[in-house]
Amino acid sequence: MFPNDFLWGASSSSAQIEGGYDSDGRGLSIWDVKKLNPGTCSFHYASDFYHHFKEDIALMAEMGFKAYRMSISWSRILPDGEGEINQRGIDFYRDVFHECHKYGIEPIVTIFHFDLPLALQQKYGGWNNRQMIDTYVNYCQILFKEYKDDVHYWLTYNEQNMLIFFGAVDMIGGTNQLQTGTDLYNQAHIQLIAQAKAMKLCHEMCPNAKIGPAPNITTSYPKTCSPMDYIASLNMDDLRNNFYLDALVFGTYPMSVWKYFKDNQIILDIHDGDFEILKEGHPDFIGFNCYGNDTTEYLEYYPLDMSDMVNADNREMSYLMKLMDKPGVGRASQNEYLSKGEDGHAYDPYCIRVTARRLTDRYHLPLIITENGYGRPDILEEDGTIHDSYRIEHLRETIRQMEIGIEEGANIFGYCPWSAVDLVSTREGITKRYGFIYVDRDEDDEKAKTASMKRYRKDSFYWYKKVIESNGKEL
């Protein structure tokens, strides 16, 4: 059974949904100049939430949302990332929060979701520079001061771990450079210190608010019952997941990651007092994204000396899975135990159940699912309907397993799948749709500039409404 006050909702991010990239004093973000995959639209107009937010929030209310996870565009608040504040940006988000509260929807607000102000990338080289700690904390201070009465749940940083783990190759717009392990893990360290400071500040400035991180956490499965595959899964959990959460919850890094650093010549630039700062920044809860798609980790041991693996390496794997090869730790494999959806896609409905149980055991903190879902093209029929039964099936089986996980002790207080309204996928444009609400636009930015972007209710809209109404009983 789901708790009575369970926060049913959905998620989004500013860059992917808002549009209005040059409206009302907003500065550019790295995503506005992002090198796009061929054939995909930019993030300039997105789903034009900037001009449709009242309609969108009314539709969320119609579905019965208790929560809406969204993010703030840093460059709408601070066009240069620091310095002068853009009052029209402040007012926009206040209007959005008021609109949510009008319907009893709790905004769950991500402070930073990939879209770094371009000025900070150009001036400091982004997160490679320790100056970013103060710059981020200054931005947080503005948000906490402005919105302390409107926001009760803050998320510090979206998927910090994925940016580091995958080498930021996809996410860092504008630069798209591969960085060394030392660069990346120093960025991670800087980002963690910034988050710890922000949490402390939030507790001081917003006594009625709670704050936590929002990494992407998927528990690793060993490929076989070989002890070395099990060790690979433990290693991978430490490197991909625990490194970030241990730092924020315990103020330490897992021992096996120190070994990984040593084996891979990664040197952390640790300053006096860094671990004290980490120890002072306690999260009140953990938000985590958990997709359970075909990249669900399924690990085999990957020796540091990988010469014996080279010849066997003709695997048919996605690009992201290949990026999971970590010598001395483990590497991903295709998981033949995944469920198959009605449209043939592979997914893991157990992902949240398994991961939430593990996180509850390790951290003893409440959990909220900040993302989960299934993106693919949808068809808008002539009568305005969208029959996305494949999405319903995917979410239904995941929610079923999540409920069992709660009965087994996973301390989950909310579920915000990706996404409420169709938005622009990080790598595959608007064609890869995730929403309960369809947005009538295609990849053509020129047309999007003036398109009505009319909203339509998908079949999953009506289904999710019933799920919420019945508190998860009617699936």
CA nearest to 60, candidates 416, 393, 451: 416
CB of 159 to ligand BG6, least distance (A): 5
CB 69 within 8 A of CB 420: no
Least distance to ligand BG6 from the beta carbon of 376, Å?
A: 9
Q: What are the backbone dihedrals phi and psi of residue 407, each rounded to the nearest 5 degrees, phi first? A: -65, -30
Distance of closest approach, residue 426 Cβ to ligand BG6, in angstroms: 4
- CA R_g for the chain: 21
Cα–Cα distance, 246 to 264 (Å, whole number):
21
Q: Looking at beta carbons only, is 233 or 426 nearer to ligand BG6?
A: 426
> Which is nearer to ligand BG6, 289 or 360 (by Cβ)?
289
**Could you tell me if 289 and 318 are in contact, meaning their C-beta atoms sit under 8 angstroms apart?**
no
Contacts 24+ apart (CB under 8 A), 360-365: 360/409, 360/410, 360/411, 362/242, 362/245, 363/245, 363/249, 363/286, 364/411, 365/212, 365/249, 365/283, 365/284, 365/285, 365/286, 365/411
Shortest separation between residue 449's beta carbon and ligand BG6, angstroms: 22
Which CB sits closer to ligand BG6, 42 or 86? 42
Q: Which is nearer to ligand BG6, 197 or 432 (CB)?
A: 432
Burial 432-459 (b: 16+ CB within 10 A, else e): bbbbbbbbebebebeebeebebebbbbb
| Residue among 148, 137, 147 nearest 208 (CA) | 148
Site of interaction with ligand BG6 (CB under 6 A):
13, 16, 158-159, 162, 216, 289, 371, 375, 418, 425-428, 432
Q: Per 3-state DSSP, what percentage of the chain is helix, strand, and coil (rounded to 5)?
A: 40, 15, 45
Residue keyed to tokens 């959905």: 10
Least distance (Å) from ligand BG6 to the CB of residue 63?
20
Residue number with CB closer to ligand BG6 (2 or 127): 127
Please report how close the Cβ of residue 308 comes to ligand BG6 at its closest, in angstroms. Answer: 33
Q: What is d(CA 469, CA 475) in angstroms, rounded to the nearest whole number?
A: 11
Dist. CA 62–CA 347, nearest whole Å: 29
Q: Rounded distance, CA 178 to CA 172, Å?
A: 10
**Residue whose CB is less far from ligand BG6, 73 or 256:** 73
Minimum distance, C-beta of residue 34 to ligand BG6, in the bound complex (Å): 12
Tell me if 408 sits within 8 A of 7, measured CB to CB: no
Q: Of the two residues 162 and 332, which places its CB atom closer to ligand BG6 in the complex?
A: 162
**Residue 245 C-alpha from the chain's centroid:** 14
Cα separation, 140 vs 127, whole angstroms: 16
Helix (H, G, I), strand (E, B) or coil at 376: strand
Cα–Cα distances (Å) from 75 to 20, 121, 134, 147, 424, in that order, read: 12, 12, 16, 17, 18
Residue 10 DSSP SS3: strand
Give the residue among 214, 241, 150 at the shortest CA–CA distance from 367: 214
Pairing between β-strand 221-222 and β-strand 298-300 as defined by DSSP bridges: parallel
Helix (H, G, I), strand (E, B) or coil at 437: strand
Give the CA distances from residue 108 to residues 100, 134, 211, in Å, rounded to whole numbers and listed in that order. 10, 23, 10
Closest CB to ligand BG6 belongs to which residue?
Answer: 425
User: 140: which DSSP letter?
Assistant: H
Catalytic amino acids?
Answer: 159, 371
H helix runs in 308-451, sequence order: 319-322, 351-363, 389-407, 445-450
Q: How far is the CB of 434 from ligand BG6 (least distance, A)?
A: 7
Name the minimum Å distance from CB 12 to ligand BG6. Answer: 9
